[in-house]
Amino acid sequence: MGISGIGKTIFTQEQIQQRVAEVGLEINRDYQGKELVIVSVLKGAIYFVADLTRHLTIPLNIDFLSVGVSPEVTNRTGVVRFTKDLNLTITDRHVLLVEDVIGTGLTLGYVCQHLADSKPASLKICTLLDNPAERLLTLTIDYRCFIMPDLFVVGYGLDYKEEYRNLPYIAEYHRGEQHIK
């Protein structure tokens, strides 16, 4: 019997590991001779950034950002705010922003603007999953592992109500099904 709500596997553990290794090779090539600061957005990208950085052979530092959405007084829209900012200084440094999923691009655009305000030498984006079907903001995505179907997915860092992040694969999740622990 499977885990309640988990549907078909979208990307297997083997597919993920192979593609992460390939993207790691691209990053090594592009940043040869440079020192890199990896900025990861918590919590969803944690497994991806851990696996990705193990494939990188260039000098690097890792730091984390965490963003949250606070409902405004009207409770109709949310305001993006940083719940954890960088500890490292990124001014005049090469920065690679690592995300789990890029959907509308609105939050990522806000994060990129925040990072750009620190005047890094360069700023590029790497994502595990790209969902262009949801895109509202035009962004340049420099490295992507997979284009994802327009589905709700969990696993490999992606969650539903803070659960399922630890699955080693990415699967469709049916939110309408009864969730029994």
Q: How confident is the model at residue 16 (pLDDT cuts 50, 70, 90)?
A: very high
pLDDT at 1 over 80: no
Its pTM stands at 0.89
pLDDT at site 110: 93
Phi, psi of 7 (to 5 degrees): -100, -145
For the segment 43-49, the average pLDDT, to the nearest whole number, is 95
| DSSP per-residue string spanning 61-110 | EEEEEEEEEEE-TTSSSEEEEEEE--SS--TTSEEEEEEEEESSSHHHHH
Torsion of CA 19, 44, 53, 143, to 10 degrees: 50
Structure letter (DSSP) for residue 45: T
Say what the pLDDT of residue 72 is: 54
Mean of pLDDT over the chain: 91
Q: Pick the more confident residue, 123 or 71.
A: 123
CA 91, CA 172: separation in Å to the nearest integer? 39
Domain ranges of the chain: 6-69+77-173
Confidence of residue 50 (pLDDT cuts 50, 70, 90): very high
- Is the peptide bond preceding residue 124 cis, with omega within 30 degrees of 0? no
- Res 71: pLDDT: 56
Inform me whether the pLDDT recorded for 180 exceeds 80. no
Mean pLDDT for the stretch of residues 154-178? 91
User: For the residues 82-100, what does the mean pLDDT come to?
Assistant: 96
pLDDT at residue number 43: 92
Model pLDDT, residue 79: 72
pLDDT mean over 134-152: 93
According to CATH, what is the number of the domain 6-69+77-173?
3.40.50.2020
Q: What's the pLDDT score for residue 70?
A: 63
The pLDDT score that the predictor gives to residue 150 is 86
User: What digits encode the pLDDT tens for the residues 62-88?
Assistant: 999 998 876 554 445 567 788 999 999
